[in-house]
Amino acid sequence: MNEQFKKGIDELRKLGPTYAEREEIFARITAVHPARAPFGILRIMHLRLVYLSVLLIILAGGAVARAAEGSLPGQLLYPVKVRVTEPVRDVLTVEPAARARWESQKLERRIDEAIALTERKELTQEQSQKIEAALTHSASTTIVALQELTKKSFEKDEEERELHRELEEKLKEHEELFKKSSYGAETQEKREEKKGVQPQQKREPEENVEKRTRENKEGDEKNELKKNTERIEQKIRTVREEIKKESERSKKEQKKDPRNQERRERN
């Protein structure tokens, strides 16, 4: 076949959705929770973990599931939390207000886990990418759940207002936590350096000098850590903004709904 035709075929192969469209569609698809499928639960979890957790539960009772709830990445029970207890609640929580609450709980958990990870000594790029992906995913599912709430429960506006209020409070809490975390402390240090203020004015005892030399050697590792940490923190900020926006938007939708106006006039 001649050259022009071949070129044409190659060009045809390039026709497709834009990169942005591809990403958006994927995010929308994977944010949606499935229809209830009670017998599907066991397939969601990895069989090995199923056996392990069944065994643990038999031995230790419900304490294992409870203990898993607060676990962080790297801890023994963390996989149980993420692959067993959370998916089970995913399938069981269907009612829109409860779902929105559960999704925002999960988002909180992801944020807590992300903060905990940033306070570790090492944080590889792979880990930080995983966290970012998990935060994005959780933010999408939370936004979708909030949208579902706006659509479906116009009658339950009390419950919703409560939920929005709770969410905003939690977001503020995280703001505080951040200032206290290592990132917050570091920026404080940076400010002091800029002003030329030495953290310690008096003559340092020997042990402190040793410590400082050690710290200089660890400087390079810290830069790597700092880079990865900052990416996560940026992600958390973006996620919080998105949630806030969505929260405010659904509140506005509530106010616009004529049924709500009626109710207010009646009251």
Chain contacts with other proteins (rule: CB under 8 A): 1-2, 4-5, 7-9, 11-13, 15-17, 21-22, 25-26, 28-30, 32-35, 37, 40, 42-44, 46, 73, 78-79, 82-83, 110, 113, 130-131, 133-134, 137
Judge contact between 118 and 135, C-beta under 8 A: no
Q: How far is the CB of 13 from other proteins (least distance, A)?
A: 6
Q: Which lies closer to other proteins via its Cβ, residue 65 or residue 82?
A: 82
Q: How far is the CB of 22 from other proteins (least distance, A)?
A: 6
Query: Phi and psi for 241 in degrees, rounded to 5?
Result: -60, -45
Q: How far is the CB of 98 from other proteins (least distance, A)?
A: 19
Q: Which lies closer to other proteins via its Cβ, residue 97 or residue 131?
A: 131
Judge contact between 67 and 80, C-beta under 8 A: no
How far apart are the C-alpha atoms of 35 and 72, rounded to whole Å? 29
3-state DSSP helix/strand/coil % of the chain, to nearest 5: 80, 0, 20
Q: Which lies closer to other proteins via its Cβ, residue 34 or residue 196?
A: 34
How far apart are the C-alpha atoms of 36 and 93, rounded to whole Å? 9
Judge contact between 132 and 236, C-beta under 8 A: no
Q: Which lies closer to other proteins via its Cβ, residue 131 or residue 143?
A: 131
Q: Which lies closer to other proteins via its Cβ, residue 124 or residue 261?
A: 124
- Segment 19-26 long-range contacts (CB within 8 Å, at least 24 positions apart): none
Q: How far is the CB of 28 from other proteins (least distance, A)?
A: 7
Q: How far is the CB of 24 from other proteins (least distance, A)?
A: 9
Q: How far is the CB of 108 from other proteins (least distance, A)?
A: 13
Q: How far is the CB of 207 from other proteins (least distance, A)?
A: 38
Q: Which lies closer to other proteins via its Cβ, residue 2 or residue 267?
A: 2
Q: Which lies closer to other proteins via its Cβ, residue 41 or residue 168?
A: 41
